[in-house]
Structure 1
Amino acid sequence: MRERLRRPIRRLPHGPVLTFSLPELLLLGFLLLSSLGTLLLLQPIAAHQPLTWHQALFTATSAVTVTGLGVIDTSSLTLFGQGVVLALIQIGGLGFMTCTAMMMVLLGVRLPLHQKQLISESLDHTSFDALAHMVRLVIAFALIAETCGTLLLALTWVPDHGLAKGLWISAFHAISAFNNAGFSVWPDSLIQEVADPLVNGVISLLFIVGGLGFVVIAELANWRPGTGLSLHARIMLHATLWLVLVAMASVLLLEWHNPATLGRLETLGAKLQAAWFQAVTPRTAGFNTLDTGALSAPSALLTMLWMFIGAGSGSTASGIKVTTFVVLLLVARAFLRGRARPEAFGRSLSDGTVMEAVAVALAGMLLIFGCLLVLTITEPGQRFLDLAFEAVSAFGTVGLTRGVTAELSIPGQLTLIVTMLLGRVGPISLGYLIAKRKVKGLRYAEGRVHIG
């Protein structure tokens, strides 16, 4: 590792070759971006009141990992500071490897063959030859979606705030929503817009589309009547619909009479909009139109489950991913039905897919447990539910909070910083390890282990 840090690019006869592995490149990239963002946010022109080093570091890390947790209000930042946050969100949301791949293509830096394959897999694309086209598609789609979102939101916010400020607010929220970041220019997020159908519709549509995954979006864009969708796309679309419906029904059932959430809203339309938004935002979006800290304990626990699941693979969102969760459910169903392999839509899933899903879910649970264990030590005065909510939100890079983020000690904030980084980088790094595993020629005799 030390040698690779000294010589990150090795000169060979056929051109320069990058020597870092994918996890190293990802982690170093996020650390460098977080450090650069910290330095910029520490400048006097970045905030109305000077930030401390840990406030700047937390904000920069939360932005580049598109989390949205904050120890300061974004409104306390100047236009320059908000611009820094927005730039970090854009880079982190599109995926550092997407930007890296684009730079490799533009600069002509060569990669070893196995790293080409791994970068293609990190983008959920099977051919590295089509990587440049995929990168252009990702960036073009993101810019189009963010531009359309900005123009639609401007219909509401330009009349209220004026042309320049209204456009900036619209652009900030559109970019933050598409990248599933959850940063808002207002201290209470979007609570003031709880009954605005345009804001609710545009913001939720942006982070749902951003969370589907670019491969699914590309497949839908190329879909023609009479042609079928891939198994991945079908699972993503069906599971997303059912997760949203179940989440919305649970919010309506559990919060209808809560005077601090749905109970304070007067009209049926406002309650339905708020329930819809609260159902879709835990899928790593981070915006809220209801006071998250006022949710009942059952609603908070279900929200933690949605945050843990996250959204789609190859998207701007995090979590264990919807497809991972569905595979685990299919495995349980196959076991209960006595079938050798899980099946979905007339296709069976391979043992490798099952092992990957188990590994990702277990790694996520262990990371959350470790984060929560440290938080219970460093924050003895906080409620356990609030700390557990923070840990899951940091892992899923969601950004929803029950209002204790700014109250955490410096060790507690540093714990969340590490969790946000690992939550963002971890799944791709784990995929790298899975992709590099080698099949041994020697197989041991099977042994019996009792389960359950």
Structure 2
Amino acid sequence: MNFMRFRENATLFIYDNREIAGLIINRLALFFCLFGAVLLIYYHGYSHSFEKNIMLMWIFRRTLDFFIISFIFKLFLSLSYKKTIRKKISQFLVVSFLFLELIYYWISGSNLILDWFVFLDMKDYFSLLQFFFIILIFSTLKDTSVRLRAIPLNPAALLAFSFLSLIIIGTILLHLPEMTTEGSISWIDALFTSTSAACVTGLTVVDTGTYFSFKGQVVILGLVFAGGLNMLTIATFIGSLYHKAGSLHAAGVIKGFLDTDQTANLQAILRNVVIYACIIQFAGIWLVYFSWGHEVQFANFTDKFYYSLFHAMSAFNNAGFSLFPENLYQEGIQHQYPLHMAIAVLIVIGGLGFLVLQDIFARKNRLDRKKHPWKKLLVNTRLVLYVTATLILSGAILFFLLEYNNTLKEYSLTGKIVTSLFQSITTRTAGFNTLETNLLSSPTIFLFMFLMFIGASPGSTGGGVKTTTFAVALKSAWANLRGKEHVEFFNRNISWVYVNKTYTVLFTAVSLIVLFTFLLLIAEPQYNFKVVFFELVSAFGTVGLSLGITPELTTTGKTILVFAMFIGRIGSLTLGLALTRRVIYTKYRYPNARLMIG
């Protein structure tokens, strides 16, 4: 009887205090996540003696012990152990292993992993612990709710803040001594490189392959991956958090941006985006791996795989970073046409947009179209595919004709065709180059700037004003010239709300490019208008092509390009989110006025 009363009292105590206890545990978990991250940054960012490395590893292992204790407390506070474990299965598996490893250490005085797997050393063991720590970070962030209503930022500002945070973190990491081969990079060059990577631009002030160490290159690759996904995943994540907080308005904002009817399944969209990105990039790694020619010699399999991974991820995210000093114009690589086509395929896929890929390849959509032949791809998907194909083919033909007797003069017919196609694809947002850009003719440079300004498609890893924006503006102008009242695509009417947004995006982009060009001409008077304007369009369109002036820019010039890359990456999205707010209708309207236009 006493036992039953004790159990009842304990259950009531847990039920009454589980909320505040859970909040305290979550806050402590965030602290230990931050502490562990800082510890790892200090460990990898500086060189240490062997004794200090062992001490840092020991402190890090004790940090992981907190997650064992916190998970046990969560189980104790939960009303259903099985439900909690099922809900946090990844955290449960990691914590269980760490707990087993801790017990083994207390009993035997040695590490479980090192005893069971004799081919592993202490460095491999520590790498495994870091992998576990990353899993714990994600599970902790998932468990910790954020009261967004208390944050005085709208969704557009939160999105901009996410990119800004990514750039700042990248700048701090790249400035650490161990990230470069010799000494530390200057703060402005670290900021420039971090911005270029996070905004998937590809403009560089130092050679990525020789100036940065392996750790620095991994940081750049992480920034590229996060920056490529950020545009869509952060928007969806914001929507899911707002939805959790009960804000239908924010869910509607993300619904309008994503052009989807799914309001209550935003987390599923986010999950699909990440899955698509990982699968495509994994396949792309092997596509690039088997595309290297015999002229490119690698030390071993690991070296070749790393180069394949770096260039595949850079291509899919439309970043344009390369480990070769001359990019893909490097001797031995400039005529590797299978490699060029493999990278071009990844650029195109990454530039289409995740929702377009989902509409085309999702099993549910494919089966639905097969069952109902009258169902077609979404208008947005068809428009993106049509405009993308048109720009690629027309750009390749024009490049072929303009450069036939110039930069393509010594190439074979196959080389001319592949190079023309590759330049047409990479110019729109990726930034890889297989030719010497300085040798291009003026008409070709103008063509490049036009393609860079248009860029990739909405919701993709690329930049620019977007293919759909260009298409709607062109079709709207053509409709006006023909005296048509409506803009139509594929027998569907385009609302004037979207047309107005299109002109707003175009006007804003042109205005910002003009402003930044004006400022850069003042800051860099030694360069002529052509090279400065090309640099600005490339930065604003997050392309990464240059006529060779980027490393020679002053601190002021680099700062201007940093702002151009940042605003060019988030500008159209932030503006789109801001314009998706509720339209305010009034009960009155002023009399019409007559204006002379044109």
Aligned runs of 1:353-432 on 2, under 5 Å? Answer: 353-432=498-577
Q: Residue 113 of structure 2 corresponds to which residue in structure 1?
A: none
**What is the DSSP-based 3-state SS (H/G/I as helix, E as strand, rest coil) of the residue aligned with 1:290?**
coil
Q: Deviations over 1:164-216 (max 9, x none)?
A: 11111100111111111111111211113332232112111111011111111
- Residue 184 of structure 1 corresponds to which residue in structure 2? 322
Residue in 2 that maps onto 1:313: 458
Aligned to 2:423: 278
Aligned to 2:379: 231
Q: Which amino acid in structure 2 is aligned with residue 444 of structure 1? A: Y
Q: 1-side partners of 2:193 and 2:246: how far apart?
A: 33
Structure 2 distance, partners of 1:445, 1:72, is: 60
Instruction: Tell whether the 8 Å contact from 1:328 to 1:357 is kept in structure 2 after alignment.
Output: yes
Q: Which residue of 1 aligns with 2:181?
A: 48
> Secondary structure of the equivalent of 2:287?
helix
1:72-96 Cα offsets, whole Å, 9 max, x none, are 1101111100000000010110125
Contact 2:231 2:461 in 1 (8 A): no
Shift of residue 137 of structure 1? 1.0
User: Offset at 1:112?
Assistant: 2.9
Which amino acid is the alignment partner of residue 360 of structure 1? V
Q: From 314, 337, 356, give the equivalent of 1:197.
A: 337
- Secondary structure in 2 matching 1:343: strand
Aligned residues between the structures: 436
Deviation track 1:358-392 (CA, whole Å, cap 9, x = no partner) reads 00111110110011000110011112111101111
Structure 1 residues 319 and 144, CA, compared in 2 at 3 Å: closer, same or farther?
Answer: same
SS of equivalent to 2:290: helix
> Is residue 249 of structure 2 the alignment partner of residue 92 of structure 1?
no
Does the Cα contact within 8 Å between 1:124 and 1:314 map onto a contact in 2? Answer: no
**CA apart distance, 1:115:** 2.0
1:369–1:450 CA distance, 2 compared to 1 (3 A): same
CA contact (8 A) 1:320 1:360 kept: yes
- SS of the equivalent of 2:539 reads helix
Which of these residues, 129, 149, 165, is aligned with residue 303 of structure 2? Answer: 165
Tell me, in whole angstroms, the C-alpha distance in 1 between the residues paired with 2:162 and 2:249. Answer: 20
Deviation (angstroms), 1:101: 4.1
Equivalent residue in structure 2 for 1:245, among 393, 416, 438: 393
2:453–2:541 Cα contact (<8 Å) kept:
yes
Question: Distance in 2 between the 1:237 and 1:108 partners?
Answer: 32
CA contact (8 A) 1:319 1:397 kept: yes
1:70 to 201, 204, 215: 204
Deviation at 1:121, TM superposition (A): 3.4
For 1:155 and 1:118, locate their aligned partners in 2 and report how far apart those are by CA, in whole Å: 43
TM-score in terms of structure 2 length? 0.70
Amino acid at match of 1:286: G
Structure 2 CA distance for partners of 1:361 and 1:107, relative to 1, 3 Å: closer
Match of 1:79 in 2: 214
In structure 2, the residue matched to 1:24 is 157
Q: Which secondary structure does the structure 2 equivalent of 1:262 belong to?
A: coil
One-letter amino acid of the counterpart of residue 173, structure 2: L
Q: Give the gaps of 5 or more residues in structure 2.
A: 1-144
The AA in structure 2 aligned to 1:130 is: N
- Give the alignment partner of residue 486 of structure 2, picking from 332, 341, 344: 341
Instruction: Quote the residue 1:10 is aligned against.
Output: none
Deviates more, 1:427-436 or 1:15-24: 15-24
| Amino acid aligned to 2:467 | V
Find the residue that maps to 2:319 and give its secondary structure. coil
Tell me the distance in 2 between the aligned counterparts of 1:100 and 1:238: 26
**Residues 1:196 and 1:364: Cα distance change in structure 2 (over 3 Å):** same
The SS at the match of 2:434 is coil
When structure 1 is superposed on structure 2, of 285-294 and 110-119 the one drifting more is: 110-119
Cα contact 2:464–2:568 (8 A) shared by 1: yes
Q: 1:158 Cα deviation (Å)?
A: 9.4
2:206 counterpart SS class: coil
Q: What is the match of residue 154 of structure 1?
A: 289
Residues 47 and 77 of structure 1 are in contact (CA less than 8 Å); yes or no, is this contact kept in structure 2? yes
Query: Hey, what's the Cα distance between the residues in 1 that align with 2:164 and 2:196?
Result: 12
Q: 1:440 & 1:108 partners in 2: Cα distance? A: 26
Measure the CA separation in 1 of the matches of 2:281 and 2:541. Answer: 22
In 2, distance between residues paired with 1:148 and 1:33? 26
Closer/same/farther in 2, CA of residues 133 and 158 from structure 1, 3 Å limit = farther
Distance 1:300 1:421 in 2: 23
Root-mean-square deviation (Å): 2.0
Tell me by how many angstroms 1:425 deviates. 1.0
Amino acid at match of 1:113: L
How far residue 232 of structure 1 moved from its aligned partner, in angstroms, is: 1.1
The answer to whether residue 266 in structure 2 is matched with residue 131 in structure 1 is yes
Q: Which one of 465, 468, 473 corresponds to residue 323 of structure 1?
A: 468
Deviation at 1:103, TM superposition (A): 8.4
Question: Following the alignment from structure 2 to structure 1, what is the Cα–Cα distance between the partners of residues 454 and 447?
Answer: 11
Indicate if the aligned counterparts of 1:23 and 1:425 stay in contact, CA closer than 8 A. Answer: no
Structure 2 CA distance, aligned partners of 1:351 and 1:104? Answer: 25
Matched, 1:220 2:355: no
TM-score, structure 1 as length reference: 0.92
Deviation sequence 1:105-137 (CA, Å, 0-9, x none): 599963633222223334343323121111111
Q: Does the 8 Å contact 1:283/1:310 carry over to 2?
A: yes
Distance of 2:582 and 2:538 partners within structure 1: 30
CA contact (8 A) 2:318 2:461 kept: yes
Deviation at 1:449, TM superposition (A): 1.8
Distance 1:370 1:306 in 2: 20
Q: CA deviation at 1:229?
A: 1.5
**Is the partner of 1:436 in helix, strand or coil?**
coil
More helix by share: 2
**SS at structure 1 position matched to 2:148:** strand
